[in-house]
Chains A and B, each alone.
Chain A
Amino acid sequence: MNITLNVNGHTHQLGVDPRLMLLDALREVLGLTGTKKGCDQGQCGACTVLIDGQRVLSCFTLAALAEGEITTIEGLSGEDEPLHPMQAAFVEQDAYQCGYCTPGQIMSAIACVREGHANSDGEIREYMSGNLCRCAAYPKIVAAVKQAAPQIAEHR
């Protein structure tokens, strides 16, 4: 079937199998491999992207039904632009070890702040619990979210 995907400000016309998930469309069709495939079963959060600002799992979203503006980790800042405040905070706080879950963590963290769920360590932990980190960088992830939160409101 023929579909239109709006990703990071670009419009793509694609012919796809109805089974194609947004995650695979991003990675295999559009070459946007920043979004990671972890469990592919809706459990780990590595594939988190934003659709119209809402964080969703791209492994459970049919590409054919992914309407709205999709933002992936690649869309947060351009080649010559400074890092998004949440990306910068993850770097400064060393909030990763292997880095595989990090794009999903960052997309989820931006939504967590925008939803108003970054008011305490406990609230951040609760509202970031859908993103697993097998290296267990959790304390530094919480620190990064706290660091970036005040800047997110001013950032787009």
Chain B
Amino acid sequence: MNAQRIAAGGTALAFALALYLPMGAAAASLSCDLSGYKAADGLEARLTQDAVTVTWQGADAATLRAQFGISNRQPVVRSLEVRGKGGNWATLASNVSPELTVATGKRRMSTQQLLPLRKLGIEATAATPEFIEREKWNVFWDAPLEVPGVAKINLDTPRKPEEVRRDTSAFDSRSCEVRTNGGRLEISFPGLTLGIFSGRLQFTVYRGTNLLRMEAIAKTEQDSVAYKYNAGLKGFSVASAPRVVWQDVARSWQKTEFGGSPNEDPVALRARNRLAIVEARGGSIAVFPPSHKFFFAREIETNLGYVWYRKDTADTFSVGVRQAEREEMYPPYGFADELWKRKVDHSRGFALGNFALYNAPRGTWQRMAAYFYLSPHDSLGTQQAVLAFTHNDRFKAVPGHQVAVSHFHTHFHEQVLDAGSIDFQPPWIPAFRGIGINIAMMSDFHDDGHHDDPGPLRFKEQKAYFDASRRHSDRDFLLMPGEEPAQYFGGHYTTVFPRPVYWSKVRAADKPFVEDVPGYGRVYRTANAEEEFEMLEREGGYIWQTHPRTKGSTLYPDLVRDKPHFLSDRFVGASFQNLPADMSHARICEVRCFGTLDDMNNWAGPKYMLAEGDTYAKFPDDDVYSGILVNYLKLERLPAFDDDWSPILKAIRAGDFFVTTGEVLIPSHSIQGSGSKQEIVAQVEWTFPLEFVEVVWGDGKTTDRQIISATDKAPFGSYQFRIPFDATGKKWVRFAAWDSAGNGAFTQPVHFK
């Protein structure tokens, strides 16, 4: 390092000084724009001849230091250092360089999205090129890397080999830029080319935590791009970092000490918590992807290996994060041959047809991120520090709330009937309970059972479903036997009742709408939307549109916005999940989900958005946490299975819940004030450094928002936001908070009288 140090104040200065500094043989002078940098305690940048050094305050009074340079026009991390409280500086890595790879393919619409149009007989007129161009970005059933792919799942198939490209990052970086953004420093390097993408590479450090975020920020000008990425650092020295450790899917500690021959490909690690840790002298470096944003919607949550290492030579290795090349098969089950064969096909079908990747519409700045955590501790201490960001991959208990999830096709009644015992405990129950879920609203009878049977079979299967749910509920875990009936109301929707309700979706002309059937009690049979609605009214049931505006609900709820069932109190709203995934968005499901939510509230009275899973088989070794979003229902006491579940439904209908990825929580919120001068008061708690909070409102026609940057907030914080607003002309208002890793939470719209 050059002995002469310069605290650079701006591009011109830095540039000019750099030109006049004596240069070493190997080191070229570094041009770095520090005009956006503002010196602040615990967050410092210093430009020297060939490097920029950022020093920041980490967690537990640790200090971190990272030195960045450019070598052969390629950004280089000259060193990553950490100093524990009262300790010495330890170098965790030297001269490691970013490596990003992308696999890109073509985004296509699915035939699944056209089915609702076909049902309505409007496919010919409605499925215009403009419609397809817009709706293809909401696709679920797409697997752009599968060539030729399964026939009939998508339009315009088979896929061709030349659609798929695999590229590695190339740099032509001549300078860097350091910018202060609240409690962060952003160090960026232009000149990144990543196949069809181009842009910059950015490192971000945050005061108060040992996180180092590395990301490509890049865009493509190509149409219809779907992609995935790997991102890592290359050039770790085996001599000074002799080991990478991780926990396997069953939490046994695993390691590599690089005793095998060099790898050509990244070794995908199916690591618990999506976490690998480099053990270095004097500390550790953890690597992991964003905990939710990174994960596009799938049918299942098999851990596909989201971190990797690669022994590059006898002396060096790389580590990073990755997305898999393809979906894999979940373990099929079935004691009966018939079920086994069905599950084998089902499992294979998911794996071959479904792996949608990320959207990259033309010109959008995609953020492809990896996190590193620089730790003065050993791997175990480092693991604990990293797991704190996701509360140990659990949905943290919030006093006065129950953690509720919805929409799971686990085929429970089929499983217990196949096992021959209602006491058979399926593997998805520990998978749910292990992440802190209290209420699971299930959705049997979705390619299982006989959902269109007029009675005899259907009621028997429903009884098994109800008995199994009753049997496996517990004091802090309630299985609510809901359903996704796709019946008379249009599109797909979830139904839940305050108790198990026997209901056949078909009614022969000679059968009554409701009757008592021995063995079951009261049963309903419905022949049309009116009857289905009448049943909901009588039984106090609720419905909401699942996956609005995509899959089997494409064009819904838009098409039913004037229907009685939509306008009624029974229709709660729609569902929320990470579909589609677009790394240029600051929010999860920004356009489809929030678009639906805000539109519904402009159209009608209060409608809400409930987190859904919409997934199938699950196992304790899966990575379910990252694949799920949850609802925190305001509810002190969880009803037992044989109690009345009305308190749950009332809380949902009142909008007394917030949706979250888990990392951001909104334990309380209210609207205070009166008349036009009102204020949103929201208590927010977070782990990753917060990004922004927002107030969103509608006037009955249009939606608007106020975004408040929160980049000044330290990680693992809690804060009461008070945001005044003028209620004049506003029909409803809602609140949301999003963190810098793409996690977030939002409350439900509140309508003004």
Say if A and B assemble together. no
Residue numbers of A with Cβ under 8 A of B are: none
Residue numbers of B with Cβ under 8 A of A are: none
